[in-house]
Amino acid sequence: MSIVTSLEVLDIRFPTSRDLDGSDAMNADPDYSAAYLIIGTNADDGLEGHGFVFTIGRGNEVEASAIAALRPQILGRDVGELLADMGATWKLLVHDSQLRWLGPEKGVMHMAIGAVINALWDLKAKLAGLPLWEMLAGLSPEEIVALVDFRYLTDALTPQEALEILRRAEPGRAARRARLLREGYDGYTTTPGWLGYSDEKLARLAREAVTDGFKQIKLKVGNSLSDDIRRVQVARAAVGPDISIAIDANQRWEVKEAIEWVRHLAPYDIAWIEEPTSPDDILGHAAIAKGVAPIPVATGEHVHNRVMFKQLLQAKSLEILQIDATRVGGVNENIAILLLAAKFGVRVCPHAGGVGLCEAVQHLSMFDYIAVSADKDGRTIEFVDHLHEHFISPVDVRGGCYWPPSEPGAGTEMHRQSLTTYSFPNGPAWTGAVCSDVAGPRDQLQYDNAPDERNRSHGTAVAAESVPMV
């Protein structure tokens, strides 16, 4: 028997705002950050559980403080017990009657719980010697259902219905695993479409994305309708008719404004409109979905828990559900959300980018394909080629696809050296002791590289222009 002996909390920030050359309608100057934790044990196996919450700078210390507040719940506990019943462990943290008041199940405290849960999954997968997606995809339907807290879900999804969804998918698991390893999982890129880019740069990056094998790009919209119309035209001309173009308003609009605005962009074959308004506005999204049909509405990166996703599905507020690895209560709650999406028959296209979100969320999509929805057609994971070099197991994105990771763990572990360098406010990247590799003067673009070179570049510096908000 081993016990949890430490829960280290780190405030990690990348000074990405220093050289920001693109942004979106709501996020001016993000410093991509991670409220990061490391769970240590006395097992003498050298294994740790790593997890984090992605934030964009100020307030990362608040998130770190929330993670630290969970120490008493975890320290001294039997590791085997915690990991053996992750459904019970989730409830232990989420239903703490005092901490619950700070949400409930939303915002800083809920994300902190998600990070601890994800760190435990990372440890569990390492102990099993498997990448998380593979470990999850090896669980029985009953074991998967036991991970999910059905509280507040049963009017839309019962444990029995979840079991039926999982059992239906069970016979095809091996074939889909083989297909996943053969084909990869589609990704799309947000790199060409930042608001601040010139039309020439947009066109060039869009063409490069196509050359790199991406079948979809995404443009930020919402500052100026005439600019948006022109930019969508430029992008469409650059990529041709066979590449999807999604647009993302980052919560910029009122309900009626969103409908009006998107109608003007409809002629250019829009793959989806993302975050048209407040992520809390279930009924607003439903009105928008109706008003802009047949263009699908996408949302989720700021949707704070399974109860909100349940309603977005019940109200037909979205057709594209965008899970995020660090917004909700970790792997367990994302499995609940994947099951809801399967029940309602909507596509899941995860939000990623930021710090480590690509590394983490790919496991969930791959698990979903093998064991839940049994489908990956029309599903695609966001990709931004930024900050991957800080991770022990950076994503492998080639030819427009995510390739299944093979290293044990949840993909959430950063290099110790990166954790030291970018520690805020006393790490050398912040004291000026070293020149930050994301804030340097280089002008090389990731999409100037061929795909093979891009993949190799994960161990090195990333160009400043890949910094903006996703």
| For the chain, the helix, strand and coil percentages under 3-state DSSP, each to the nearest 5 | 45, 15, 40
Of 356, 357, 379, which is closest to residue 366 (Cα–Cα)? 379
Taking the complex as a whole, the smallest distance from the CB of residue 134 to a second copy amounts, in Å, to 31
Rounded to a whole number of angstroms, the minimum distance from the CB of residue 302 to a second copy is: 6
Q: Map tokens 């299944």 to a residue.
A: 404
CA–CA distance, 379 with 356 (Å, rounded to integer): 20
Active site (annotated) includes residue 351:
yes
Residue 280's SS3 state is coil
Nearest 5°: phi and psi at 226? Answer: -65, -40
Among 50, 106, 110, 220, the active-site one is: 220
- The distance of closest approach from Cβ of residue 419 to a second copy in the complex, given in angstroms and rounded to an integer, is 21
Examine the residue annotation and report whether 285 is marked as an active-site residue of this protein.
no
3-state secondary structure of 34: strand
Task: State in angstroms the smallest separation of the CB of 14 from a second copy.
Answer: 13
Tell the smallest beta-carbon distance from residue 57 to a second copy (Å): 4
Q: Among residues 119, 53, 62, which one has the least CA distance to residue 86?
A: 119
The residue among 96 and 407 lying less far from a second copy, judged by its C-beta, is 96
Residue 69 or 464: which CB sits closer to a second copy? 69
CA distances from 46 to 4, 126, 316, 359 (A): 13, 10, 47, 22
Q: Which residues bind a second copy (CB under 8 A)?
A: 26-31, 55-59, 61-63, 65-66, 69, 72, 96-112, 151-152, 154-155, 251, 254-256, 277-284, 287, 302, 304-305, 307-308, 310-311, 314-315
Query: CB neighbours of 175 closer than 8 A, spacing ≥ 6?
Result: none
Please name which of 4, 86, 80 lies closest in space to residue 38, comparing C-alpha atoms.
Answer: 4
Catalytic residue among 126, 351, 386, 388: 351
Q: Which residues are catalytic?
A: 220, 351
